Amino acid sequence: MIILRSILFNLVFYANLIVQMIVLTPIYFILPRKKAWFVPKNWVRSNHWLLEKIVGTTFEIEGLENIPEGPYIFAPKHQSFWDAYALLPWLDDPFYILKRELTWIPLFGWYIIKQRMVPVNRAARGKAMTDVMERTKNEMATGRQLIIYPEGTRRPPGAPPEYKYGIARLYRDLKVPVVPVAMHPGLFWPRRKFLRFPGHFKVRVLPPVEAGMDPDAFLKKLVEVTEAASDELLVETVKANPQLPLPPTAKQRLRELGQAS
């Protein structure tokens, strides 16, 4: 049944994306930029409903009171395609720094451009990167929230942390709080796999790390608080969902945590 439900969900997921993008495109491009967020956020909510009804996967968010007003950097763990979009409805006016090739995709790229995402040429150096930072500062100055994945790429649940120093540079230059987020959607929506597993998990929004720290001290604190919460949630999630097939990284981390306790 898991295989059948996973196939059905994947088919409906992409059909939902295509249909909503086509049907709601006139509304999206007529509305002012910020109000147009209604369209992608509605798509996200519909995906949560589909995941629950077809696969049986649900989630809850803890710590929404920790999200500050105004500009900040939103720094979630990144394990799955799920966390690339799933929290958008709870953010006021977010944006990403993303590879410029995404803006070349017909229709999807137009959506990105309208929301003033910041495209970057990953091979660029010097002035090009300076321009990216300048555009990012301009967006933050209007009160927007920058979504950054501190480890840069999707990591399997329980994998050793590999935080990139780039978020410390952004923290230093943008001078805004950073909101860490711990979660384990990768146990239910594994990276590079089509299977989707039923169960329930938590997303934990942690208290913000306020602006003004030394970048090295900031990065150390970000890793410590995020990984501590991540370990707690890993244990909680596995206990609450004993049916889950665990990746080797999660099994290894659980053994380490068991030895530590």
pLDDT values of the chain reduced to their tens digit, one per residue, 261 residues: 899 999 999 999 999 999 998 899 999 999 999 999 999 999 999 999 999 999 999 999 999 999 999 999 999 999 999 999 999 999 999 999 988 888 888 888 989 999 999 998 766 666 667 888 899 999 999 999 999 999 989 999 999 999 999 999 999 999 999 999 999 999 999 988 999 999 999 999 999 999 999 999 999 999 999 999 999 999 999 999 999 999 999 999 999 998 654
pLDDT score for 125: 64
User: Which two three-digit tokens encode residue 1?
Assistant: 């049944």
Enumerate the β-bridge partners of residue 145. Answer: 72, 94
Q: Tens digit of pLDDT for each residue in 114-157? A: 999 999 876 666 666 788 889 999 999 999 999 999 998 999 99
Which strands make up the sheet holding 94-99, listed edge to edge? 57-62, 199-205, 178-183, 72-76, 145-147, 94-99, 118-120
With H, G, I as helix, E, B as strand and everything else as coil, classify residue 35.
Answer: helix
User: Which two three-digit tokens encode residue 235?
Assistant: 């244990």
Instruction: Tell me which residue of 154, 163, 259 sits closest to 209, measured CA to CA.
Output: 163
Report the alpha-carbon distance of residue 172 to residue 193 in Å, rounded: 37
With H, G, I as helix, E, B as strand and everything else as coil, classify residue 119.
Answer: strand
Torsion of CA 114, 38, 97, 111, to 10 degrees: -40
Identity of the residue numbered 221: K
Q: Are 182 and 62 in contact (CB under 8 A)?
A: no
pLDDT score for 261: 47
pLDDT score for 260: 57
pTM: 0.93
Query: Alpha-carbon Rg of the chain, whole angstroms?
Result: 19
pLDDT score for 192: 85
pLDDT score for 21: 85
User: Which two three-digit tokens encode residue 73?
Assistant: 């950097």
Instruction: Tell me which residue of 134, 232, 121, 148 sits closest to 184, measured CA to CA.
Output: 232
Q: Are 77 and 226 in contact (CB under 8 A)?
A: yes
